Amino acid sequence: MFVTLNGNGSLQQQVYEGLRRAILESRLGPRARLPSTRSLARELGVSRNTVLAAYDQLLAEGYVVGRVGSGTYVAAELPDAMLAARRAEPSARESGAPQPRLSTYGERVRRVDPLDVPGTSRTHPAPARLHYDFRYGTPSVEEFPHETWRRLLARRARRASVHSLGYGRPEGEPVLREAIADYLRRARAVDCRAEQVIVVQGSQQALDLVARLLVDPGDVVVVEDPAYQGARKIFLAAGGRLVAAPVDGEGADLSHLPPEADAARLVYVTPSHQFPTGATMSLCRRLELLGFAERTSAYVVEDDYDSEFRYEGRPVESVQGLDRRGRVVYVGTFSKVLFPALRVGYLVLPEPLVPIVSAAKWLADRHTATLEQEVLADFIAGGHFERHLRRARAHNAARRAALLEALAEHLGDRAVVSGANAGVHLLVWLPGVPAGAAPDLVAAAARAGVGVYPVAPYYLNPPNTAGLLLGYASLTESEIRQGIRRLAQVIAARG
């Protein structure tokens, strides 16, 4: 018999599938007449309705022609090539799928390999044995005001209207843009109106949109050295030629850039809390930066990813707030202060850039999910956000103090701490330990249950001394103390 039932799915599906296979494998050739539904039903031991439904389906899909009941035939126009392909290479897809020919962008993405960033990006769950994981970017689940968030979420979900369920605006929900502008004016001295704010999927999308719209292959992009790899990889994928601005205790230094830097389209900086060194850019350097941008017509991308947590002095004023020439694109995110999985960030743009960024955002994904935007707007407008910031800042300050104490106690002058005055991470330099020894040290620490991350991959020109990146937002003070004690043991054991 030419039709066999394979036992998968409903009887109708099995009959349909058996006939389809017979047609595709030419056991039922083009123009062949199918048996009557009645006789096939009898032969297969199924009801006639089942066979009728299968025939209808084959008819709807063009495998067969003719009117059901008065004779049904295999369609004449099934190209033979396709049938041959089926027979000759049943597993061609599995074995011989072609290697894709990529665009030049795709080739650059392949070379850049964005998923290869130790400790920060692959984001596979940390191995269970890392009891003390100083991974950067892991949120603190305890501090997050789940109850409030859930209440706001439920309220918005209950009120869901056509507006909330339908397509939103590419720039973001007006209520959230207002709330963000309000907060930034108040807390960060960002000089902006809600119309300049565009809501995006985290700062990653903000940087990607800016790179797409402003950087052509071969264009110069000035980046801090070291820098956040996610940003650097975006600029490399865009085809940018990276020029490194070395970072010291005052932040990025633009005063000794090579002449080609004058052609820069973008300068990417993290002035509030340089990533990963933690330096705060001095006012002098900020003004130099703006001067450079004005002179070269470059845009400054100010990535203010975590300046909400500051432990000494009030938050420093943004570069954007100093700018009088519309040269600064300010980028912020809720990933660090709320939680990364939210995927909400924002751009504050000079007005001439607003329409083109809206358009590019529309093309990229139309808009960011509405519910998250509405809940976040409620969270900010209701004062919960700043309340949460105050609480989280206090918790993080205690963690930081524990970390600094533990480092002093267990490592003493074997460790030099940098960048501890803000954020939720710091750098530990290990004077006398060569940079090349860091990977082994990190591996040894991991075997002892301590997750620390080498700083070298963040550098274009890595330093000679080993440095470790320690995030502390998701650990308790006691975990921090024990983790550092173990880390010190590992370091001591290695001489």
Of 97-116, binders to its own copies (CB under 8 A) are: 97-106, 109-110, 112-115
Please list every residue from 450 through 489 that binds its own copies, using CB under 8 A: 474
Per-residue string for binding with its own copies, 311-350, x by CB under 8 A? -xxx-xx----xxxxxx-------x---xxxxx------x
Please choose, out of 29-37, 55-63, 387-395, 430-438, the segment that lies near its own copies by the rule CB under 8 A.
55-63
Are 434 and 466 in contact, with CB atoms under 8 Å apart? yes
Q: Is 49 in the site for its own copies (CB under 8 A)?
A: no
Q: Is 29 in the site for its own copies (CB under 8 A)?
A: no
Residue 5 CB, shortest distance to its own copies, in Å, is: 17
C-alpha angle 129/278/144, rounded to 5°?
Answer: 55
The correct pick among 31, 85, 409, 443 for binding its own copies (CB under 8 A) is 85
Nearer to its own copies, 264 or 406 (CB): 264
Nearer to its own copies, 234 or 247 (CB): 234
Please choose, out of 241-249, 351-359, 405-413, 478-486, the segment that lies near its own copies by the rule CB under 8 A.
351-359
User: Looking at 6-76, which runs of residues are DSSP E strands?
Assistant: 64-65, 73-74
Q: Is 170 in the site for its own copies (CB under 8 A)?
A: yes
DSSP SS3 for 185: helix
Residue 81 CB, shortest distance to its own copies, in Å, is: 6
Please list every residue from 293 through 312 that binds its own copies, using CB under 8 A: 294, 297, 299, 312
Partners of 132 in the β-ladder? 450
Q: Is 287 in the site for its own copies (CB under 8 A)?
A: yes
- Total residues binding its own copies (CB under 8 A): 132
Which token pair is 216? Answer: 């052509």
Of the candidates 330, 346, 16, 308, the residue with the CA atom closest to the CA atom of residue 172: 346
The correct pick among 78, 381, 404, 417 for binding its own copies (CB under 8 A) is 78
Q: Is 260 in the site for its own copies (CB under 8 A)?
A: no
Residue 306 CB, shortest distance to its own copies, in Å, is: 14
The correct pick among 7, 124, 258, 461 for binding its own copies (CB under 8 A) is 124
Q: Is 35 in the site for its own copies (CB under 8 A)?
A: no
d(CA 95, CA 486): 48
Please list every residue from 354 through 393 that binds its own copies, using CB under 8 A: 356, 358-360, 362-372
Nearer to its own copies, 70 or 99 (CB): 99
Of the candidates 80, 67, 50, the residue with the CA atom closest to the CA atom of residue 18: 50
- DSSP letter string, 319-354: HHHH-SSS-EEEEEESTTTT-GGG--EEEE--GGGH
Are 357 and 195 in contact, with CB atoms under 8 Å apart? no
d(CA 180, CA 206): 15
CA 348 from centroid of its chain's CA atoms: 19
Residue 110 CB, shortest distance to its own copies, in Å, is: 6
Which token pair is 400? Answer: 């930081």
Q: Which residues contact residue 39 at a Cβ distance below 8 angstroms, ignoring those fewer than 6 apart?
A: none
Question: Would the CA dihedral through 195, 201, 207, 208 be positive or negative?
Answer: negative
DSSP SS3 for 118: coil
Please list every residue from 196 through 215 that binds its own copies, using CB under 8 A: 200-202, 204-205, 208, 212-215
d(CA 333, CA 310): 16
Q: Is 84 in the site for its own copies (CB under 8 A)?
A: no
Residue 35 CB, shortest distance to its own copies, in Å, is: 21
Q: HSE-up of 417 (CA within 13 Å, CB side)?
A: 19
Please choose, out of 35-43, 290-298, 386-394, 408-416, the segment that lies near its own copies by the rule CB under 8 A.
290-298
